[in-house]
């Protein structure tokens, strides 16, 4: 068995899809990715679990996650863990509000 240890091995491993069967598993995965400095693609989550879109909307409305959306049609793009939920003084991103990271506008 050939073991892939080249420069693309980590990328291939990261691209493997996780499977989710519940809200708690999905939330755990979102939290895990955010702790490593990233979010998860909404489209990837949607193809991994049919129930993901509804759960993501629910988690977003509760302030547990942040969802970036396209400016053109408002479609969800990326999902991130909300480190400071509303009950701890954080605030949700309101529709039409923009997030700026460096010089990039989301």
Find the mean pLDDT for residues 44-65. Answer: 92
By the 8 A CB rule, do 67 and 42 touch?
Answer: yes
Find the mean pLDDT for residues 70-88. Answer: 86
Q: Which domains does the chain have, with CATH numbers?
A: 20-84+97-105 (1.10.10.10)
Question: What predicted TM-score, i.e. pTM, was given to this entire model?
Answer: 0.68
Which residues, other chains included, contact 46 with Cβ-Cβ below 8 Å and sequence gap of 6+? 52, 53
Question: Rounded to the nearest 10 degrees, what angle do helices 52-61 and 23-35 cross at?
Answer: 70
Mean of the per-residue pLDDT values of the chain: 77
Find the mean pLDDT for residues 41-58. Answer: 93
Residue 10, pLDDT > 90, answer: no
Find the mean pLDDT for residues 60-86. Answer: 88
Residue 28, pLDDT > 50, answer: yes
Quote the tokens at residue 106.
Answer: 């989301």
Residue 106, pLDDT > 50, answer: no
Query: 69 — phi, psi (to 5°)?
Result: -130, 155
Query: Residue 74 — very low, low, confident or very high, per pLDDT cuts 50/70/90?
Result: confident
Q: In what order do the strands lie in the sheet with 65-69?
A: 40-41, 76-81, 65-69
Q: Which residue has the higher pLDDT, 53 or 12?
A: 53
């Amino acid at each position: 068995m050939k073991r892939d240890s080249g420069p693309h091995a980590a990328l291939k491993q990261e691209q493997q899809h996780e499977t989710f069967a519940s809200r708690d598993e999905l939330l755990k995965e979102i939290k895990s990715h955010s702790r490593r400095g990233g979010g998860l693609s909404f489209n990837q989550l949607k193809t991994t679990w049919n129930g993901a879109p509804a759960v993501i909307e629910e988690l977003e409305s509760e302030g547990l996650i942040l969802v970036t959306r396209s400016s053109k049609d408002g479609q969800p793009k990326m999902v991130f863990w909300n480190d400071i939920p509303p009950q701890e003084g954080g605030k949700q991103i309101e529709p039409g509000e923009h997030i700026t990271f460096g010089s990039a506008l989301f």
